[in-house]
Structure 1
Amino acid sequence: MRALSAILAALTMAVTVAAAPSAEAVDPGPADDSFYVPPAPLPPGAPGDVIRWRPAKIGPPKTPINETVTAYQVMYRSTDALGQPNAVTGTVVVPKRVDPAAAPIVGLAAGTHGPAFRCTPSKMIDAGAFYEQPAVNDMLTAGYAVAITDYEGYKPDPRTTYVVGQSMGHAVIDAVRAAQRLPETKLSKSAKVVFRGYSQGGGAALWAGEQQPAYAPDLDLVGVVGGGVPADLTQVALQLDGKRGFGLLMYSLSGLDTAYPDLKLDTYLNDAGRALLAEMRGDACTMELLLRYKDKKLIDYTTSSPVLTPPWLARVAENKLGGTPVAVPVLQYHATNDDLVDYSQAQALRDTYCSKGVKLTWRTQATDHITLVYQGNADAKAFIADRLAGKPATTTC
């Protein structure tokens, strides 16, 4: 309960190989929220190229961490779930005490923040309300630069692609590339890279790991950390209806529908369902998803359920982890009493990766989903340090 209180309090505060990157400098972007609106058409370039940037901060200006880091918000080119170019925003943070040219880079995939624009991870960071800030601080203290994607679709009229791995993985990868290509960071294009995330972020980090060899062979990836991973969206969804995580289920349906217009979610919704989605997009962050919508049932918001229809199952199958073995060592961890992301489907992913020869370390803790956001940091920190130090990886397979 202590961890739940901490996360809710923090949230309340916020009320295709790439071509060579461009060497041209990019002017700072606007200071207001128009920064988040992608230009139309997108400027020419390759995935990871910076479209715009601006100076950033971690919380209020006098927050002590701002004295020890330099932060930037960026908009960069990436690739959506249909293989089309898009624009994604994010945050890059570089510790001042290290030589940036020698700093490793951790691509942090944020956990669930919610569909409303105010929930955007970079906005949470700016407000000092990013609930994964302890993990970020650990990495900065260790001397790593951190690139944190906002994922696709956060803008004043938000249309996010929640839990869509084919989009999220690209966003994680290209956040690291953008960090390397923004001249102001002085980060090296040959820096060692780790992808890391929990919950939504755990899935995104592993998707980035699966996609990296084909999509971004330019990155020197040395490890991937994924905790609380929603690997099989069908199995996760079946455990949410009528329970505490109903808001996450509705948000997932919205995310898939945004990524794949052929799914036509609106044709399955009744008026109450349309009103609910509009309300969520207008105001809901993680706190509201977990508290305002808990124990509700999909049948009350739909004329028929899309969850097990062939079109939806086909798109969900495209976003099921395990199809491609991750080529670098992996730390996967999960709460045995996870009440939001089904434990058995995480075990199934572990078994799949092991059968495909992934050097995987599996860790469990007898706790719930939200508590492990924090209690998993120690294992993640140690794993990342070992990979960046070049220590041989062991496997629990």
Structure 2
Amino acid sequence: MKTIPYGRQSIEQEDIDAVIQTLTADYLTQGPKVKEFEDKFAEYIGSKFAVAVSNATAGLHIAVLALDLKQGERVITTPITFAASANCVRYAGGEVWFADIDSETYTLSLESTKKLVESKPKGFFKGIIPVDFGGLPVNLEKFRQLADKHGLWIIEDAAHAPGGYFTDSKGLKQNCGNNVYSDLTVFSFHPVKHIACGEGGMVTTNSEMLYRKLCSLRSHGIVKDNMNENHGGWYYEMQQLGYNYRLTDIQSALGITQLAKNERRVARRNEIASKYKDAFNGKVRYQSLPEGTLNAHHLFVIEVEDRKGLYDFLRTQNIYSQIHYIPVHTLPYYKAIGYQGADLKNAEKYYSKCISLPMYPSLTNKEQSFVIEKVLTYING
């Protein structure tokens, strides 16, 4: 069996053709493909505005800046995520506070977050960054109720979840990133994600004010809206300290063709997940699926007692599984700040057992059957 990674991009001829067409056009960056990608992405997600950025980390950074996070202000997030979900707070000089995960969904626990928020006076925290871990949407309606009660903003980290949704109390499907219950949402276009642009990200919002801030922050803090009869077409103003976080037309062209295929690819990811669940039901734990929720399945994670043993065994079979993630509060940088004493038992227990199996649309039935066979062989001794 050939090498089977945990995730990989799916590039087809139409993707290649779109990139080649852009390479021969007038603009390689800051051209029409960026706006086209933004408009199509916003329509797909169901948000009013979308801002393309160089990567999801950049998107998280300008998201906290757009919400005016200041030095020393505190934000809550999950320890089971890629470090960028927390690092963006540190970039702005803020403090990261971790709440525990739900042991069934692996996402930020509403109860743990509520307990943490209510343990401090109102105004102590500024915001919450829930993560749609593995592709499973967080029920943001419930987090919004908590946030509104305590004056908090919400940034949804949906890097794993374009195409996923949850059902709210009114029976309405709420797409990840439509910002009905969040202020801003951030997506990733890394190659192993649903929409591959090489690198890239998108920030969505329903607020025109936040949209304008994001556009300025991703391009050096520069705006060109203040021209008058004394200024020519060259005129611009740098109104704040921004960054060069722009996405190129080349990447946007690829993103447009990838986006058009996301719905069927999410369906394929769910077919793969269903086959894993059928094979592993009653044998190993895996992420639960709340009623009325569509998991976009960036990952399929199982929990096993001998995680290191299974990881090593699968590599001998050319199956390259992965671990998602080392709890952020245990990383050396955050331990040095003083998080090593945090009471995050569910996150640490999850990490001791978690392993991500291959999950991507081009994974064949034969390859998946081989993965299942080898996992069961190992756990059955």
Flag the structure with more relative contact order, 1 or 2, with Cα contacts below 8 A and sequence separation at least 6.
Answer: 2
State if a TM-score over 0.5 links the two structures. no
Larger Rg: 2
**Please, what TM-score do these two structures have when normalized by structure 2?**
0.28
TM-score when normalising by structure 1: 0.27
